[in-house]
Amino acid sequence: MGREDDAQWREKLTREEYKVLRQGGTEAPWTGEYVDEKRRGVYRCRACGSELFASDTKFDSRCGWPSFWTPLAGDKVKLLEDNTLGMRRTEVRCANCDSHLGHVFYGEGWDNPDDARFCINSISLTLEPAEDQA
């Protein structure tokens, strides 16, 4: 699915999914289903199904949300300046359907090529486990 109107999104998504994906909300830390997920596979956008992150880029940042050091490809997500809540952050959105996924933070000292932490809401994702992990 690509871009739907608001009524279609409300019909397709649960109230919690809609709040995060379409209204830019955030799930509470340590409550998401993928925080401690270890299975291999591909994480897709829960709204449209686009492939976003690979499990081999997921790492334990101890922040309460799933963290990845890079998306599958640069064109899978779009990054937007976010100055809400009195903070300067970079919002991560699905490039296909424009759903809110979370935020990316740089310069925290992570041992990955871009020193990046894509902090993504579990409710924004679905895991498609690798065939040997299902």
Active-site residue list: 119
Find all residues with CB under 8 Å of 36, minimum gap 6, and list them: none
Query: Is there a domain that residue 1 lies in?
Result: no
3-state SS, residue 134 = coil
Q: Any idea what the CATH number is for the domain that residue 63 is in?
A: 2.170.150.20
Please give the average per-residue pLDDT across 10-15, as a whole number: 94
Q: How many domains does the chain have?
A: 1
pLDDT of residue 2: 45
Query: Is there a domain that residue 61 lies in?
Result: yes
The DSSP bridge partners found for residue 76 are none
What's the CA gap between 93 and 24, in Å, rounded?
9
Give the model's confidence band at 87: pLDDT under 50 very low, under 70 low, under 90 confident, else very high: confident
3-state SS, residue 54 = strand
Residue with tokens 């109107």, as numbered in its chain: 5
Please give the average per-residue pLDDT across 2-23, as a whole number: 88
pLDDT score of 134 more than 70: no
Query: Is there a domain that residue 73 lies in?
Result: yes
Query: Is there a domain that residue 58 lies in?
Result: yes
What's the CA gap between 68 and 14, in Å, rounded?
25
Query: Is there a domain that residue 71 lies in?
Result: yes
Query: Is there a domain that residue 33 lies in?
Result: yes
Query: Is there a domain that residue 31 lies in?
Result: yes
Give the model's confidence band at 3: pLDDT under 50 very low, under 70 low, under 90 confident, else very high: low
**Structural domain of residue 80, as residue ranges?**
6-129
3-state SS, residue 43 = strand
Query: Is there a domain that residue 134 lies in?
Result: no
